[in-house]
Amino acid sequence: MTNALLFKEWKKTKWFVIGAFIVGAALLTYIFLRLGRSFRMVGMEHLWDVVINRDQFLLRELKYFPLAAGIAIAFSQFVPEVIQKRIKLSLHLPLSNKRVVFTMMGYGLSVLSLVYLLHILAILIFMGVHFPLEFIISALYTLAPWYVAGLMAYVLLAWICLEPSWKRRIFNALIMFGVLQLCFLSDFPGAYAFILFAVILLPIYILPFGYRSVERFKIGIQD
């Protein structure tokens, strides 16, 4: 039954997942090509100098990619569920509502994480070849909040979609806006070093919100 549910989610999100992957790959290709050009034009030593001594971050263009991917996948997955109240069908499946909701969200988070992981893996390989471990650690500290933002955007957008009342949706959107800000407080490389752990826990904290809105749907709340 879970497999069938996952098939349904895949069916809805397929092109968006593939799209997110392709856009991510294209973005990375562009960044790597541009960096390769810098290697040749100004030399590696200068590039290292700029990163170490001038606090430049080489992967700045990646900033909003995870966010966009999270938003796209959440939309593609949950908008078809809520238009025409199709969620009624999903909630009527012979599974507990909790299982239905969390399987759906688990699917989304998994494919999103998969796209992110492949993305990060490519970054790690590229950086591992050209840069020392210190760079990689700093880059991970800098990138992590952006990827966390993507996961949170997904979870919160799912919450907003599943919410039956438009008025409440607006408040949910305000919360989403505030929470996402937490991931974009600073562009300075490594600025999140001290609280990265807390930031990584945030998506877990907000995960059950969507289920709350399903419960609200179940008691018939609407505008």
Partner 1 sequence: MKSINYLIILLGTLLLAWLLPKSYHLITDTASKNIFTYYSSVDKAFCTIEFDKKEERLIRKNIKTNKVYNEHEFDSILPLFYSTQMFADGRMPDSIDGVEMKPREINSRKFFYRMNPMNKNKPHIPLYTLFESMSKRVRIEMPGDFFRLDSEIEFINPETNEVNQEKSLRFNTVFQKRGFQFPARQVAGNPSTRKAYDEGYFIIDNANQIFHLKMVNNMPFLRSVPLPKDVEPAYLMTTEPDDRSFYAFVYDSNRKLHIITTDQYKLQEIPTPAYDIDKDQLLIMANPLYWNINVVNSEAKTVLAIRSDSKEVVDEVVIKHDKEGENYARFVLPFSVGFTKSNTKFIQPSIFLGSVWVLLLNAILAGGFVLLMKKRKQKVQIIPLAWICLTGIYGFIASTIFNR
Partner 2 sequence: MQPIVECKNLTHYYGNRCIYENLNFEIPQGRILGLLGKNGTGKTTTINILNGYLKPRSGECLMFGESSAKLSPATKQKVGLLIEGHVQYSFMNISEIEKFYSAFYPKWKKEAYYELMKLLKIDPKQQISRMSCGQKSQVALGLILAQDPELLILDDFSMGLDPGYRMLFVDYLSEYAKAENKTVFVTSHIIQDMERLIDDCLIMDYGKIVTQKPIEELLNTFKRFKFKSQSSGLLNDLQEIYHPVSIKENTEAYSFMTKNEMEVLLNKNNIQHGRITEESLSLEEAFIGLTGKY
Structural tokens at position 92:
């009527």
Query: Is 209 one of the binding residues for partner 1 (CB under 8 A)?
Result: yes
Query: Is 195 one of the binding residues for partner 2 (CB under 8 A)?
Result: no
Which of these, 102, 130, 163, lies nearest to 36 by C-alpha position?
130
Of 94, 129, 166, 223, which one interacts with partner 1 (CB under 8 A)?
A: 129
Structural tokens at position 222:
């609407």
Euclidean distance between CA atoms 57 and 110, whole angstroms: 28
Specify the residue, 178 or 220, whose C-beta has the smaller distance to partner 2. 220
Q: Which of residues 154-183 bind partner 1 (CB under 8 A)?
A: 168, 171, 175, 178-179, 181-182
Which of these, 179, 188, 183, lies nearest to 144 by C-alpha position?
183
Query: Is 201 one of the binding residues for partner 1 (CB under 8 A)?
Result: no
Query: Is 75 one of the binding residues for partner 2 (CB under 8 A)?
Result: no
Query: Is 80 one of the binding residues for partner 2 (CB under 8 A)?
Result: yes
Residue 223 interacts, among partner 1, partner 2, none and using kind-specific CB cut-offs from 5 to 8 Å, with: none
Query: Is 166 one of the binding residues for partner 2 (CB under 8 A)?
Result: no
Please state, in angstroms and as integers, the Cα–Cα distance from residue 208 to each residue in 105, 117, 155, 204, following that order.
Answer: 10, 23, 9, 8
